[in-house]
Each structure stands twice: as C-alpha cells, then as structure tokens.
C-alpha cells in the first residue's frame, strides 16, 4: 500500500522525523505517540501537505512523480479542523467532493450518516468542536481513496457518532480502503480490525510486535 | 465546478474586497460618480496621448496587482485556508477556463458595444447592470493569479 524510503522532515533545519524505510500494508493501522512526537507531521507529510526529503509511494503512484494521482488517492482528516468562519459545511463538502471527484450519492450518504444535515448551511463560525470534527470526517471520506488518514478521529464527537465512525471505517475498509489512525484513546478492537500498531518516538516510527505492547 | 468558484469567491474575492471596501468605494466613485462621461473620455485621450502617462497608469495597475497577489499568498499560509490545497486536484486548464470566462464576457460585451454602436448597452452597463461582470473579471484575474 504505502512504501516510504529515507523520509526526512525538518522545520527550519531542525529534524523532527526520520524514517529510513517503512512499508505499510493494506489494512487498518494505529499510530501511537506522545504529544509532540511527530504523528501529525508524519500524517500531513503522507497526505502530501508538507514538503519533505525522500520518497513516498502509494501503490503505483509516487508523490514526486504523480502528485495529483497520489493526492487523489489519499485522504486526510485533521485532528483539530480549522475552516474560515464564513464558510458552511455545504461549501466545504461540495468543494472537496468536486476536487476528489465524489458522487452526489456518496456526499448525501456521508452527510446523513454523520448527522451533518441540521447545520449543513450554517457558517462554521457557529459550530461546536464536535460539529467541526464531523465536517472534517465527512471531507476525509469523499472520493475514491486507497488510503484514509484520520488524526484523532474520535475526539470531541459524541458516543452515537463514535459508533457511526466505527461503522463507516469498517464498511469503507471492507471495500479495500486502508486506514491510518492515531488516537490517545484506545480503539475498540472488537469494532475495528486493527492490523498493526506503530509508535512514533525519538523522531522515527517503530512497529510494535503486537497490539498489547 | 460552481462549488470551486463559490469557495474561491468567498475565501479570496469577498474577503479581499471586504478588507478593502474603502478603496473599492473610491474607485467606484471615480468610475461612476465623480467624473462626468466627457471627463472620462478626456482623461483616457490624455493618457493615451503620452507614453509616460500610459506607463504611469500601467505602473499603478502593476502595484495594485502586486497588492492582490500578496493578499492571496498571505491567505494561503493561513491554517484555516488549508482546504484550498485540494485545488491541485483540479485540472489547471479547467481552472484557467473558469478564470478567463468572466473576462471573455466583458470583452465580448465591450466589443458588441463598439461594433454595433449599442449606446443603450453602454448606458445600461454604466448604470450598473454590467458592473457585476466588470467586477467578476477583476476578481477572477486577481484571485486566481496567486494560486
């Protein structure tokens, strides 16, 4: 699924992440790490939102050689979404749906399952953090991605929405989509078939031998 | 593609003119209020008669353009504008067509006025009917340049 070689990410010359080689197979993977360990930087780099040194390949698409195809097949949901306060969820969803070439059926399904309808046409400036999170989750599932990266997908949303997110991840994964998740909370392993557990520490990523480590 | 235009209009164009409403008002007053039609013609004839004045006018437009490019570039650095990174997924030719379309409408309108001598159309445009297109052209050209 994702192949990483000699990945180095620095901010103002200060190295924050170094991954010599890493292969992420098809499946649902959980990334753990303390605050500031570099999880979000790693995810944003994978999503093609940050410049870096090295190479990342998603199936046959290399981020450097096929940047559009690569980004078209990898989606990212932020931990703490931030949108201009005058935009509505409808504006954002329609824009990303156009960019990601999502169908109107998929858009309606996501709006419905995540319970966005009541605030769809309200400016995001009036949203609670949970409403913002639901909007960002909807954006992350749009299109036909091969991989969906969800940074802290369960924070700020209510229990009913957590169940729906589990359901959505499970159904999407059943259609062959891989997931990279991060969370400080424990995922319910009976709800999600998590395949590998990784830890981001000491500026690199290590695969833990089992979920219980 | 309307969704892309809607988002760009709200995030860049409306925001730019909201922050520069005083300047827009001043330009509008010069264009439609303070000067009489014959003053407009005299001013244009005077500018076109002198290469120096024409260069000065173009220099002013260039400075104004740089101001807009700077605004767009600054906004793209904002975290809340990160959603616009999805624009890379839209074909450049499609974006270019969207940007040029309003300019083509304005150019066609102006050409029609000149060729057919539709004075009533010019008067209608001056009264505000076509003002939207003029603004759209400026918005589109200015707004997309920095992306």
Q: What is the pLDDT of residue A188?
A: 67
Two structure tokens written together for B133: 């297109």
What integer is the mean pLDDT of A23-36?
89
Assess A46–B contact: CB distance below 8 Å, yes or no.
Answer: no
Q: What is the pLDDT of residues B35-90, one digit of tens each?
A: 787 888 888 888 888 889 889 989 998 998 899 889 988 998 999 999 988 888 88
Assess B93–A contact: CB distance below 8 Å, yes or no.
Answer: no
CB contact under 8 A, B83 and A96: yes
Chain B: closest CA distance from residue A4 (Å)? 22
Decide: B130 and B109 in contact? Cβ < 8 Å. yes
Q: What is the pLDDT of residue B113?
A: 65
Helices (H), chain A: 39-46, 67-72, 89-100, 104-113, 129-141, 159-174
Which residues on neighbouring strands pair with residue A28, listed in sequence order? Answer: A179, A194
The reported pTM is 0.81
What integer is the mean pLDDT of A13-42?
89
Two structure tokens written together for A84: 């201009």
Whole-angstrom Cα distance, residue A56 to residue A63? 6
> Given a cut of 70, is residue A96 above it in pLDDT?
yes
Q: Which of B147, B146, B125, B124 is nearest to B134 (CA)?
A: B125
Phi then psi for residue B106, to 5 deg, are: -65, -45
Whole-angstrom Cα distance, residue A135 to residue A195? 27
Higher pLDDT, B21 or A185: B21
Confidence of residue A201 (pLDDT cuts 50, 70, 90): confident
Whole-angstrom Cα distance, residue A117 to residue A89? 9
> Given a cut of 60, is residue A128 above it in pLDDT?
yes
Is residue B38 exposed (0-12), middle (13-18) or buried (19+ Cβ within 10 Å)? exposed
Assess A67–B contact: CB distance below 8 Å, yes or no.
Answer: yes
Decide: A139 and A96 in contact? Cβ < 8 Å. yes
């Amino acid at each position: 699924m994702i192949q990483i070689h000699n990945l180095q990410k620095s901010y103002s010359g200060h190295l924050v992440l170094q991954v010599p080689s890493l292969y992420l197979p098809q499946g649902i993977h959980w990334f753990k790490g303390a605050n500031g360990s570099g999880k979000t930087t790693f995810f944003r780099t994978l999503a093609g939102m940050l410049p870096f040194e090295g190479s990342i390949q998603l199936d046959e698409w290399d981020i450097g050689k096929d940047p559009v195809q690569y980004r078209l097949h990898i989606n990212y949901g932020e931990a703490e979404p931030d949108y201009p306060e005058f935009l509505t969820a409808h504006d954002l969803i329609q824009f990303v749906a156009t960019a990601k070439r999502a169908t109107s059926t998929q858009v309606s399904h996501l709006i419905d399952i995540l319970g966005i309808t009541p605030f769809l046409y309200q400016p995001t400036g009036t949203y609670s953090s949970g409403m913002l999170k639901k909007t960002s989750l909807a954006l992350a599932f749009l299109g036909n991605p091969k991989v969906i990266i969800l940074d802290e997908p369960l924070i700020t949303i209510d229990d009913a929405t957590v169940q729906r997110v589990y359901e959505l991840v499970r159904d999407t994964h059943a259609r062959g989509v891989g997931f990279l998740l991060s969370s400080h909370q424990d995922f319910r392993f009976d709800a999600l078939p998590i395949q590998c557990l990784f830890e981001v520490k000491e500026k690199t990523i290590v695969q833990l031998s089992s979920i219980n480590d | 593609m309307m969704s892309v235009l809607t988002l760009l209009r709200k995030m860049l164009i409306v925001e730019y003119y909201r922050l520069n409403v005083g300047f827009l008002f001043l330009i509008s007053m010069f264009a439609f209020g303070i000067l009489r039609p014959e003053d407009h013609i005299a001013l244009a004839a005077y500018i076109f008669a002198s290469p120096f004045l024409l260069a000065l006018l173009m220099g002013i437009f260039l400075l104004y353009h740089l101001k807009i490019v700077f605004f767009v570039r600054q906004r793209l650095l904002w975290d809340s504008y990160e959603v616009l990174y999805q624009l890379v997924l839209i074909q450049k030719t499609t974006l270019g067509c969207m940007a040029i379309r309003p300019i083509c409408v304005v150019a066609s309108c102006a050409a029609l006025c000149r060729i057919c001598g539709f004075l009533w159309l010019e008067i209608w445009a001056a009264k505000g009917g076509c003002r939207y297109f003029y603004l759209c052209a400026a918005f589109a050209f200015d707004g997309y340049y920095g992306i």
